[in-house]
Copies of this chain bind each other. A is one copy, B any other.
Amino acid sequence: MATIKEIAERAKVSRTTVSRVINNSGYVSEEAKKRVLQVIEETGYIPSENAKSLRTKKTKVIGVILPKISTETSSRLVKGLDHVLAKEGYQILLTNTNLETEKEIEYLRLLKSRHVDGIILSATIINQPLIDEINQLNIPFVTVGQYISGLANVLFDDYQASKDMVNYIVNKGYKQIAFIGVDEKDRSVGYLRKAGYLDAMKENHLLVEDSWVQKGIFDVESGYHCMKQMMDFSKQKPSAVLAVTDRLAIGAMQYIKEAGLSIPADIAVAGMGASELSKFISPALTTLDFSMEEVGREAAGLLLEQINGEIYHEKIKMVKYRLIERSSI
Protein backbone atom coordinates (compact mmCIF):
# COMPACT_ATOMS: atom_id res chain seq x y z
CA MET A 1 0.00 0.00 0.00
CA ALA A 2 1.46 3.26 -1.16
CA THR A 3 1.76 6.23 1.18
CA ILE A 4 1.87 9.93 0.59
CA LYS A 5 5.65 9.82 1.01
CA GLU A 6 6.09 7.47 -1.93
CA ILE A 7 3.79 9.54 -4.10
CA ALA A 8 5.80 12.62 -3.23
CA GLU A 9 9.07 10.94 -4.14
CA ARG A 10 7.83 9.55 -7.41
CA ALA A 11 6.29 12.86 -8.43
CA LYS A 12 9.42 14.69 -7.27
CA VAL A 13 7.51 17.02 -4.97
CA SER A 14 7.10 17.28 -1.21
CA ARG A 15 4.42 15.53 0.80
CA THR A 16 2.96 18.94 1.40
CA THR A 17 2.33 19.42 -2.28
CA VAL A 18 0.76 16.00 -2.65
CA SER A 19 -1.55 16.81 0.21
CA ARG A 20 -2.47 20.06 -1.52
CA VAL A 21 -3.34 18.24 -4.69
CA ILE A 22 -5.46 15.67 -2.91
CA ASN A 23 -7.36 18.25 -0.94
CA ASN A 24 -7.49 20.88 -3.63
CA SER A 25 -6.10 23.50 -1.30
CA GLY A 26 -3.35 26.07 -1.38
CA TYR A 27 -1.18 26.88 -4.36
CA VAL A 28 0.00 24.16 -6.72
CA SER A 29 1.31 24.68 -10.25
CA GLU A 30 -0.49 22.89 -13.05
CA GLU A 31 2.80 21.25 -13.78
CA ALA A 32 3.19 19.67 -10.35
CA LYS A 33 -0.46 18.85 -10.07
CA LYS A 34 -0.38 16.84 -13.25
CA ARG A 35 2.64 14.86 -12.16
CA VAL A 36 1.08 14.05 -8.81
CA LEU A 37 -2.25 12.99 -10.27
CA GLN A 38 -0.39 10.87 -12.77
CA VAL A 39 1.51 9.04 -10.03
CA ILE A 40 -1.66 8.60 -7.97
CA GLU A 41 -3.37 7.06 -10.96
CA GLU A 42 -0.46 4.73 -11.65
CA THR A 43 -0.08 3.50 -8.12
CA GLY A 44 -3.75 3.34 -7.22
CA TYR A 45 -2.91 5.31 -4.12
CA ILE A 46 -5.70 5.75 -1.59
CA PRO A 47 -5.00 8.12 1.31
CA SER A 48 -5.33 6.70 4.78
CA GLU A 49 -8.44 8.08 6.44
CA ASN A 50 -6.93 6.91 9.63
CA ALA A 51 -3.87 9.08 9.48
CA LYS A 52 -5.96 11.90 8.17
CA SER A 53 -8.43 11.83 11.00
CA LEU A 54 -5.69 11.54 13.59
CA ARG A 55 -4.60 14.97 12.47
CA THR A 56 -7.92 16.57 11.59
CA LYS A 57 -10.01 15.15 14.43
CA LYS A 58 -12.79 14.24 12.02
CA THR A 59 -13.61 10.68 11.04
CA LYS A 60 -16.73 11.03 8.94
CA VAL A 61 -18.13 8.12 10.86
CA ILE A 62 -21.35 8.13 12.85
CA GLY A 63 -21.85 5.52 15.54
CA VAL A 64 -25.27 3.93 15.82
CA ILE A 65 -26.32 1.93 18.85
CA LEU A 66 -29.27 -0.37 18.29
CA PRO A 67 -31.13 -2.53 20.77
CA LYS A 68 -31.65 -5.24 18.17
CA ILE A 69 -30.15 -5.39 14.79
CA SER A 70 -32.61 -7.52 12.90
CA THR A 71 -35.96 -5.86 13.35
CA GLU A 72 -38.08 -3.83 11.01
CA THR A 73 -37.80 -0.89 13.33
CA SER A 74 -34.03 -0.94 13.34
CA SER A 75 -33.58 -1.48 9.66
CA ARG A 76 -35.98 1.31 8.79
CA LEU A 77 -34.23 3.62 11.20
CA VAL A 78 -30.85 2.81 9.69
CA LYS A 79 -32.25 3.31 6.23
CA GLY A 80 -33.41 6.79 7.15
CA LEU A 81 -30.10 7.60 8.80
CA ASP A 82 -28.12 6.35 5.83
CA HIS A 83 -30.29 8.29 3.45
CA VAL A 84 -29.20 11.57 4.97
CA LEU A 85 -25.71 10.71 6.19
CA ALA A 86 -24.38 9.04 3.05
CA LYS A 87 -25.10 12.17 1.05
CA GLU A 88 -22.82 14.12 3.36
CA GLY A 89 -20.09 11.53 3.11
CA TYR A 90 -20.64 9.90 6.48
CA GLN A 91 -20.38 6.20 7.15
CA ILE A 92 -22.29 4.28 9.76
CA LEU A 93 -20.59 2.23 12.43
CA LEU A 94 -23.17 -0.19 13.76
CA THR A 95 -23.30 -1.59 17.24
CA ASN A 96 -25.90 -3.91 18.61
CA THR A 97 -26.66 -4.29 22.29
CA ASN A 98 -28.99 -7.23 21.90
CA LEU A 99 -31.07 -5.62 24.64
CA GLU A 100 -28.23 -5.93 27.14
CA THR A 101 -28.33 -2.56 28.86
CA GLU A 102 -24.75 -2.62 30.14
CA LYS A 103 -23.56 -2.86 26.56
CA GLU A 104 -24.92 0.57 25.82
CA ILE A 105 -22.31 2.14 28.06
CA GLU A 106 -19.64 -0.16 26.71
CA TYR A 107 -20.44 0.85 23.14
CA LEU A 108 -20.66 4.50 24.01
CA ARG A 109 -17.06 4.32 25.19
CA LEU A 110 -16.03 2.28 22.22
CA LEU A 111 -17.51 4.77 19.81
CA LYS A 112 -15.75 7.56 21.64
CA SER A 113 -12.46 5.71 21.38
CA ARG A 114 -13.01 5.49 17.65
CA HIS A 115 -13.59 9.22 17.49
CA VAL A 116 -16.90 9.02 15.69
CA ASP A 117 -18.19 12.44 14.72
CA GLY A 118 -21.55 11.74 16.29
CA ILE A 119 -23.70 9.10 17.95
CA ILE A 120 -27.28 8.00 17.48
CA LEU A 121 -28.72 5.98 20.31
CA SER A 122 -31.84 3.91 20.02
CA ALA A 123 -32.29 2.71 23.56
CA THR A 124 -35.08 0.78 25.17
CA ILE A 125 -34.44 1.29 28.83
CA ILE A 126 -32.88 4.49 30.13
CA ASN A 127 -31.10 4.42 33.49
CA GLN A 128 -28.95 6.86 35.40
CA PRO A 129 -25.51 5.39 34.65
CA LEU A 130 -26.35 5.60 30.97
CA ILE A 131 -27.38 9.23 31.26
CA ASP A 132 -24.22 10.05 33.21
CA GLU A 133 -22.08 8.40 30.60
CA ILE A 134 -23.78 10.29 27.80
CA ASN A 135 -23.38 13.58 29.56
CA GLN A 136 -19.66 13.28 29.96
CA LEU A 137 -19.28 12.08 26.40
CA ASN A 138 -19.15 15.50 24.79
CA ILE A 139 -19.83 14.24 21.27
CA PRO A 140 -22.74 15.31 19.04
CA PHE A 141 -25.53 13.06 20.16
CA VAL A 142 -29.12 12.25 19.27
CA THR A 143 -31.40 9.81 21.00
CA VAL A 144 -34.39 8.28 19.27
CA GLY A 145 -37.53 6.63 20.62
CA GLN A 146 -36.84 7.42 24.26
CA TYR A 147 -36.73 10.82 25.88
CA ILE A 148 -33.54 11.85 27.66
CA SER A 149 -33.53 15.31 29.15
CA GLY A 150 -31.01 17.85 27.95
CA LEU A 151 -30.29 16.09 24.67
CA ALA A 152 -31.52 16.16 21.12
CA ASN A 153 -34.44 13.76 20.91
CA VAL A 154 -36.48 12.36 18.06
CA LEU A 155 -39.64 10.93 19.48
CA PHE A 156 -43.22 9.93 18.99
CA ASP A 157 -45.97 11.04 21.23
CA ASP A 158 -46.54 7.53 22.47
CA TYR A 159 -49.06 8.60 25.07
CA GLN A 160 -51.25 10.45 22.63
CA ALA A 161 -50.86 7.76 19.99
CA SER A 162 -52.21 5.21 22.35
CA LYS A 163 -55.09 7.49 23.33
CA ASP A 164 -55.90 8.15 19.70
CA MET A 165 -56.11 4.48 18.98
CA VAL A 166 -58.37 3.81 21.95
CA ASN A 167 -60.64 6.67 20.90
CA TYR A 168 -60.79 5.30 17.41
CA ILE A 169 -61.78 1.89 18.72
CA VAL A 170 -64.39 3.48 20.97
CA ASN A 171 -65.80 5.44 18.04
CA LYS A 172 -66.18 2.18 16.19
CA GLY A 173 -68.55 1.14 18.93
CA TYR A 174 -66.43 -1.10 21.11
CA LYS A 175 -66.57 -0.76 24.86
CA GLN A 176 -64.73 -3.73 26.35
CA ILE A 177 -61.25 -2.83 25.19
CA ALA A 178 -58.29 -4.83 26.39
CA PHE A 179 -54.58 -4.05 26.22
CA ILE A 180 -51.38 -5.96 25.59
CA GLY A 181 -48.30 -3.99 26.61
CA VAL A 182 -44.70 -4.55 27.53
CA ASP A 183 -42.47 -3.89 30.52
CA GLU A 184 -42.95 -0.33 31.82
CA LYS A 185 -39.19 0.08 32.19
CA ASP A 186 -39.40 0.80 28.50
CA ARG A 187 -40.86 4.23 29.08
CA SER A 188 -42.10 4.90 25.58
CA VAL A 189 -43.55 1.61 24.54
CA GLY A 190 -44.21 0.18 27.99
CA TYR A 191 -45.18 3.04 30.25
CA LEU A 192 -46.51 5.81 28.03
CA ARG A 193 -48.61 3.64 25.76
CA LYS A 194 -50.17 1.96 28.75
CA ALA A 195 -50.83 5.30 30.40
CA GLY A 196 -52.46 6.53 27.21
CA TYR A 197 -54.69 3.49 27.10
CA LEU A 198 -55.73 3.73 30.73
CA ASP A 199 -56.40 7.46 30.57
CA ALA A 200 -58.38 7.18 27.36
CA MET A 201 -60.51 4.45 28.86
CA LYS A 202 -61.15 6.58 31.91
CA GLU A 203 -62.06 9.61 29.82
CA ASN A 204 -64.53 7.49 27.91
CA HIS A 205 -65.96 6.20 31.19
CA LEU A 206 -65.13 2.65 30.27
CA LEU A 207 -64.20 0.04 32.83
CA VAL A 208 -61.02 -1.97 32.59
CA GLU A 209 -60.97 -5.44 34.05
CA ASP A 210 -57.60 -6.42 35.56
CA SER A 211 -57.11 -9.37 33.30
CA TRP A 212 -57.61 -7.17 30.26
CA VAL A 213 -54.24 -5.58 30.81
CA GLN A 214 -51.53 -8.03 29.88
CA LYS A 215 -47.78 -7.65 29.69
CA GLY A 216 -45.75 -9.44 27.07
CA ILE A 217 -42.41 -9.20 25.33
CA PHE A 218 -41.62 -8.19 21.78
CA ASP A 219 -42.70 -11.23 19.81
CA VAL A 220 -45.63 -13.00 18.22
CA GLU A 221 -45.67 -15.93 20.63
CA SER A 222 -45.96 -13.54 23.52
CA GLY A 223 -48.99 -11.90 21.94
CA TYR A 224 -50.58 -15.29 21.56
CA HIS A 225 -49.88 -16.14 25.15
CA CYS A 226 -51.21 -12.83 26.48
CA MET A 227 -54.42 -13.25 24.55
CA LYS A 228 -54.85 -16.72 25.91
CA GLN A 229 -54.33 -15.52 29.47
CA MET A 230 -56.83 -12.81 28.90
CA MET A 231 -59.49 -15.14 27.53
CA ASP A 232 -58.85 -17.76 30.19
CA PHE A 233 -59.05 -15.44 33.15
CA SER A 234 -61.36 -12.58 32.30
CA LYS A 235 -64.90 -12.57 33.67
CA GLN A 236 -66.24 -10.50 30.85
CA LYS A 237 -64.54 -11.18 27.53
CA PRO A 238 -63.14 -8.13 25.74
CA SER A 239 -64.68 -7.13 22.43
CA ALA A 240 -61.50 -5.44 21.23
CA VAL A 241 -57.83 -5.54 22.05
CA LEU A 242 -55.07 -3.02 21.49
CA ALA A 243 -51.49 -4.26 21.39
CA VAL A 244 -48.46 -1.96 21.62
CA THR A 245 -46.73 -3.66 18.72
CA ASP A 246 -47.96 -5.33 15.58
CA ARG A 247 -46.23 -8.55 16.49
CA LEU A 248 -48.10 -8.77 19.74
CA ALA A 249 -51.29 -7.97 17.86
CA ILE A 250 -50.62 -10.69 15.34
CA GLY A 251 -49.99 -13.19 18.09
CA ALA A 252 -53.30 -12.19 19.63
CA MET A 253 -55.00 -12.64 16.27
CA GLN A 254 -53.59 -16.13 16.01
CA TYR A 255 -55.07 -17.11 19.33
CA ILE A 256 -58.42 -15.58 18.52
CA LYS A 257 -58.59 -17.44 15.22
CA GLU A 258 -57.57 -20.70 16.82
CA ALA A 259 -60.27 -20.22 19.42
CA GLY A 260 -62.75 -20.23 16.55
CA LEU A 261 -63.66 -16.60 16.96
CA SER A 262 -63.77 -14.14 14.12
CA ILE A 263 -61.98 -10.82 13.75
CA PRO A 264 -63.39 -8.20 14.09
CA ALA A 265 -66.91 -9.59 14.59
CA ASP A 266 -66.15 -11.34 17.88
CA ILE A 267 -63.01 -9.51 18.88
CA ALA A 268 -61.44 -6.57 17.08
CA VAL A 269 -57.67 -6.14 17.11
CA ALA A 270 -55.39 -3.11 16.73
CA GLY A 271 -51.64 -2.97 16.58
CA MET A 272 -48.96 -0.30 16.52
CA GLY A 273 -45.99 0.10 14.24
CA ALA A 274 -47.28 -0.56 10.74
CA SER A 275 -45.08 -3.57 10.14
CA GLU A 276 -45.10 -5.14 6.73
CA LEU A 277 -46.91 -8.07 8.24
CA SER A 278 -49.83 -5.92 9.25
CA LYS A 279 -50.67 -5.23 5.63
CA PHE A 280 -50.71 -8.79 4.44
CA ILE A 281 -52.14 -10.64 7.38
CA SER A 282 -55.75 -11.59 7.21
CA PRO A 283 -57.74 -9.67 8.21
CA ALA A 284 -55.42 -6.75 7.52
CA LEU A 285 -54.43 -5.13 10.79
CA THR A 286 -55.49 -1.66 11.81
CA THR A 287 -52.37 -0.05 13.18
CA LEU A 288 -50.36 3.14 13.68
CA ASP A 289 -47.61 4.06 11.27
CA PHE A 290 -44.71 5.59 13.18
CA SER A 291 -42.49 6.04 10.16
CA MET A 292 -39.16 5.00 11.57
CA GLU A 293 -37.48 6.00 8.36
CA GLU A 294 -38.49 9.57 8.98
CA VAL A 295 -37.19 9.28 12.51
CA GLY A 296 -33.87 8.21 11.03
CA ARG A 297 -33.80 11.14 8.65
CA GLU A 298 -34.71 13.61 11.36
CA ALA A 299 -32.16 12.19 13.76
CA ALA A 300 -29.45 12.39 11.12
CA GLY A 301 -30.45 15.98 10.44
CA LEU A 302 -30.24 16.96 14.10
CA LEU A 303 -26.90 15.26 14.40
CA LEU A 304 -25.49 17.07 11.39
CA GLU A 305 -26.64 20.36 12.83
CA GLN A 306 -24.67 19.66 15.98
CA ILE A 307 -21.64 18.51 14.04
CA ASN A 308 -21.77 21.72 12.04
CA GLY A 309 -21.53 23.77 15.15
CA GLU A 310 -25.06 24.26 16.34
CA ILE A 311 -25.19 24.80 20.06
CA TYR A 312 -25.73 21.71 22.05
CA HIS A 313 -28.98 21.93 23.99
CA GLU A 314 -32.20 20.05 24.49
CA LYS A 315 -34.21 19.80 21.36
CA ILE A 316 -37.22 17.61 20.78
CA LYS A 317 -38.42 16.65 17.37
CA MET A 318 -41.77 14.92 17.38
CA VAL A 319 -42.44 12.71 14.41
CA LYS A 320 -46.03 12.37 13.36
CA TYR A 321 -47.81 9.07 13.29
CA ARG A 322 -50.70 8.05 11.16
CA LEU A 323 -53.58 5.73 11.91
CA ILE A 324 -53.99 3.10 9.22
CA GLU A 325 -57.55 1.87 9.06
CA ARG A 326 -57.86 -1.67 7.88
CA SER A 327 -60.21 -4.52 8.46
CA SER A 328 -59.30 -5.90 11.88
CA ILE A 329 -61.62 -3.39 13.57
On A, residues with C-beta under 8 Å from B are 1, 44, 46-51, 53-54, 59, 61, 69-71, 74-76, 78-79, 82, 86, 91-96, 109-110, 112-115, 136, 138, 220, 250, 276-277, 280-282, 293
Q: Name 21 interchain pairs, CB-CB below 8 A, sorted by A.
A: A49-B113, A50-B50, A51-B54, A54-B54, A61-B114, A69-B75, A70-B75, A71-B75, A74-B75, A75-B75, A78-B94, A82-B94, A82-B96, A91-B94, A93-B94, A276-B276, A277-B277, A277-B280, A280-B280, A281-B281, A281-B282
Contact A92 B93 (CB under 8 A): yes
Contact of A136 with B44 at beta-carbon distance under 8 Å, contacts A91-B110, A281-B281 already known: yes
Contact of A49 with B114 at beta-carbon distance under 8 Å, contacts A69-B79, A70-B78 already known: yes
CA distance A276 to B70 in the complex (A): 12
In addition to A74-B75, A220-B280, 8 A-B residue pairs with Cβ atoms within 8 Å of each other are A46-B112, A49-B114, A50-B54, A50-B59, A50-B115, A71-B75, A86-B96, A276-B276
B residues less than 8 Å from A95 (CB atoms)? 86, 91-92
A70 is contacted by which of B79, B94, B110, B138 (Cβ under 8 Å)? B79
B residues less than 8 Å from A71 (CB atoms)? 75
A61 is contacted by which of B54, B76, B79, B93 (Cβ under 8 Å)? B93
Choose among A91, A110, A280 the residue with the greatest number of B CB atoms under 10 Å from its CB: A280
B residues less than 8 Å from A276 (CB atoms)? 276-277
Name the residue on B nearest A97 (C-beta).
Answer: B86
CA distance A1 to B54 in the complex (A): 13
Number of chain copies forming the complex: 2
CA distance A1 to B57 in the complex (A): 11
CA distance A61 to B111 in the complex (A): 12
CA distance A113 to B112 in the complex (A): 20
CA distance A138 to B109 in the complex (A): 31
Q: How far is the CB of A231 from chain B (nearest CB, A)?
A: 20
Name the residue on B nearest A254 (C-beta).
Answer: B280
CA distance A138 to B1 in the complex (A): 9
Contact of A115 with B49 at beta-carbon distance under 8 Å, contacts A61-B93, A82-B94, A281-B281 already known: yes
B residues less than 8 Å from A277 (CB atoms)? 276-277, 280
B residues less than 8 Å from A91 (CB atoms)? 93-95, 110, 114
CA distance A44 to B137 in the complex (A): 10
Contact B113 A48 (CB under 8 A): yes
CA distance A280 to B250 in the complex (A): 8
Name the residue on B nearest A68 (C-beta).
Answer: B79
B residues less than 8 Å from A114 (CB atoms)? 49-50, 61, 91
CA distance A43 to B90 in the complex (A): 30
Name the residue on B nearest A86 (C-beta).
Answer: B96
B residues less than 8 Å from A138 (CB atoms)? 1
